[in-house]
């Protein structure tokens, strides 16, 4: 018997529709459609081009053909507002837009309630920036991006739990909206739809079930980490590096808050204890500036550059906004602005590996865990130089892959809801190990240059 599931996975750099086919105990993944995700500046605001993304979804579902069900995930924190007739009120705003500048610093500490790291663009701060606007006043419901797309497919509203956990308005202890916090901040409680959980049926699209998955892309990616034991750390490596651990309980200590570690909701009640590291975003932005050179050539040239000559603190929020990235990097690294793309690329990758080292170490210390391996999943798993540097910097073996972990986690949760896969995360991960290619990178064992580089960026 063959079963086929369609995973819609929207990343900040591209979207794809992936078909996952189960046959004779085997699972095959096929990227049936990939499309660009190109934000647009309009009227002084940076927007997601949501209708173009929705068209990519529809085209991809058309190419996928008949499937048992559809699941949707995307990047976190962003949302659309719909009015009482269901019309979208304006284009969703990109989390890198400047509207939230300065807001987080004016809001009291929410960590004891939400357990969330303080990122300037958390939904709560975006809503405080939007409160009082005509659109906010006219809104009937707030829908996170995957929930908005699911609404367009099915007509059903709701708020999937893992993604809702990135808003800053969920109570980390109960897994439900914190109505007292929402009221306390003067936000409209009527905007927030009922929470749904991964595996819940949302509705139907032309007769095909649309099923809730870990709709936060990072939650789906963590499902597909091919670990064979519990003692692992992970990096979900794409536009961002999400670096941390899977835990049974949140860590809400002062030290954890000060280190800006987050307790996001995972599939099956797990906690994604992690920190956002700037990821491959600075390189993506430089490549856009350089006219999109071939990434393999660029990485090969970067591999020939001297190691750790220039490093920057990638946790610096100066790298958050789009545009003008190479000059910001050169300034921070003390390099002349005319150095080669290979030199800048090497600086980004050395610095990223250094940031991975710091986040992995801190996560372990704060949670009282000593990981024995680091799983690196997502598009960054294709970057051998980054994997090698991350192994050297962390001193841990890096197990790289799957590249499409997010889509895979999305498919697996759908397959379980349909009864095609049984068991918990362990069973799903065993299937990933059996079917996906994983590459192992051993650390070189020399920590001294990394220790010195960490001291140079003051971390």
71 beta partners: 7
104, with CB counted inside 10 A (0-12, 13-18, 19+), is middle
Q: Which stretch binds ligand LRH (CB under 6 A): 235-243, 329-337, 416-424, 448-456?
A: 235-243
CA distances from 326 to 281, 292, 317, 341 (A): 12, 14, 15, 9
Of 428, 381, 322, which is closest to residue 95 (Cα–Cα)? 322
- Binding status of residue 238 toward ligand ADP by CB under 6 A: yes
CA-nearest of 373, 350, 365 to 438 is 373
Q: Which is nearer to ligand ADP, 104 or 385 (CB)?
A: 385
Per CB under 6 A, which of residues 252..281 are in contact with ligand ADP?
A: 280
Pick between residue 185 and residue 295 the one whose CB is nearest to ligand ADP: 295
Q: Rounded distance, CA 42 to CA 74, Å?
A: 22
**Does residue number 284 form part of the binding site for ligand ADP (CB under 6 A)?**
yes
The binder of ligand ADP chosen from 380, 402, 409, 443 (CB under 6 A):
380
Q: Is-cis flag, bond preceding 221, omega within 30?
A: no
From 7-15, 91-99, 268-276, 422-430, span contacting ligand ADP (CB under 6 A): 7-15
Question: Does 242 contact ligand LRH by CB under 6 A?
Answer: yes
Which residues are catalytic, by number?
217
Stretch that binds ligand ADP, among 82-90, 143-151, 247-255, 373-381 (CB under 6 A): 373-381
Residue selected from 88, 138, 295, 373 as contacting ligand ADP according to rule CB under 6 A: 295
Which residue among 8, 12, 110, 457 contacts ligand ADP (CB under 6 A)? 12
Contacts of 34 (CB under 8 A, 6+ apart): 14, 15, 16
Residue 140 CB, shortest distance to ligand ADP, in Å, is: 30
Q: Which CB sits closer to ligand ADP, 11 or 80?
A: 11
CA distances from 119 to 8, 166, 316 (A): 26, 10, 12
Tell the smallest beta-carbon distance from residue 350 to ligand ADP (Å): 15
Instruction: Quote the CA–CA distance of 6 and 258 in Å, as a whole number.
Output: 40
Q: What are phi and psi of 152, to 5 degrees?
A: -65, -35
Q: How far is the CB of 358 from ligand LRH (least distance, A)?
A: 17
φ and ψ at 45, to 5 degrees?
-125, 145
Q: Which is nearer to ligand ADP, 209 or 379 (CB)?
A: 379
Q: How far is the CB of 147 from ligand LRH (least distance, A)?
A: 14
Question: Contacts with ligand LRH in 87-116 (CB under 6 A)?
Answer: 95
Taking the C-alpha atoms of residue 274 and residue 297, their distance in angstroms, rounded to an integer, is 32
Name the site residues for ligand LRH (rule: CB under 6 A): 11-12, 75-77, 95, 216-218, 239-240, 242, 276
Name the site residues for ligand ADP (rule: CB under 6 A): 11-14, 238-239, 280, 283-284, 295-296, 299, 378-380, 382-383
């Amino acid at each position: 018997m063959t079963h086929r599931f369609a995973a819609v996975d929207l990343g900040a750099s591209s979207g794809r529709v992936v078909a996952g086919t189960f046959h004779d105990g085997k699972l095959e993944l096929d990227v049936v459609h990939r499309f660009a995700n190109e934000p647009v500046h309009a009227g002084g605001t940076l927007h997601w081009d949501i209708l173009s993304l929705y068209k990519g979804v529809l085209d991809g579902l058309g190419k996928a053909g008949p499937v048992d069900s559809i699941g949707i995930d995307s990047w976190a924190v962003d949302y659309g507002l719909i009015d009482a007739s269901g019309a979208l009120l304006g284009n969703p705003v990109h989390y890198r837009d400047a509207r939230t500048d300065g807001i987080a610093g004016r809001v009291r500490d929410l960590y004891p309630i939400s357990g969330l790291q303080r990122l300037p663009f958390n939904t709560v701060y975006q809503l405080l920036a939007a409160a009082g606007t005509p659109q906010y006043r006219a809104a009937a419901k707030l829908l996170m991006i995957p929930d908005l797309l699911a609404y367009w497919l099915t007509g059903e509203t709701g708020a999937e739990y893992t993604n809702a956990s990135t808003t800053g308005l969920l109570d980390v202890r109960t897994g439900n909206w914190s109505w007292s916090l929402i009221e306390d901040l003067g936000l409209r409680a009527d905007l927030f739809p009922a929470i749904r959980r991964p595996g819940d049926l949302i509705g139907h699209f032309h007769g095909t079930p649309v099923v809730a998955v870990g709709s936060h892309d990072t939650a789906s990616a963590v499902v597909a980490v091919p670990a064979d034991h519990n003692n692992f750390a992970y990096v979900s490596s794409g536009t961002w590096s999400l670096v941390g651990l899977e835990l049974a309980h949140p860590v809400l200590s002062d030290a954890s808050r000060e280190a800006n570690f987050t307790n996001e909701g995972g599939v099956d009640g797990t906690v994604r204890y992690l920190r956002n590291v700037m990821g491959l975003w600075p390189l993506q932005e430089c490549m856009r500036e350089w006219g999109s050179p071939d990434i393999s050539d660029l990485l090969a040239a970067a591999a020939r550059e001297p190691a750790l000559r220039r490093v920057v603190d990638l946790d610096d929020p100066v790298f958050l906004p789009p545009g003008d990235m190479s000059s910001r990097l050169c300034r921070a690294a003390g390099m002349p602005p005319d150095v080669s793309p290979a030199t800048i690329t090497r600086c980004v990758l050395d610095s990223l590996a250094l940031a991975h080292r710091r986040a992995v170490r801190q996560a372990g210390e704060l949670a009282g865990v000593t990981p024995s391996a680091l799983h690196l999943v997502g598009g960054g798993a294709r970057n051998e130089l980054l994997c090698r540097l991350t192994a050297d910097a962390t001193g841990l073996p890096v197990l790289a892959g799957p590249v499409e972990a997010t889509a895979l986690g999305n498919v697996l949760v759908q397959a379980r809801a349909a009864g095609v896969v049984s068991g918990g995360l362990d069973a799903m991960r065993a299937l990933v190990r059996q079917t996906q290619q994983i590459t192992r990178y051993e650390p070189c064992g020399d920590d001294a240059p990394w220790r010195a580089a960490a001291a140079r960026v003051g971390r």
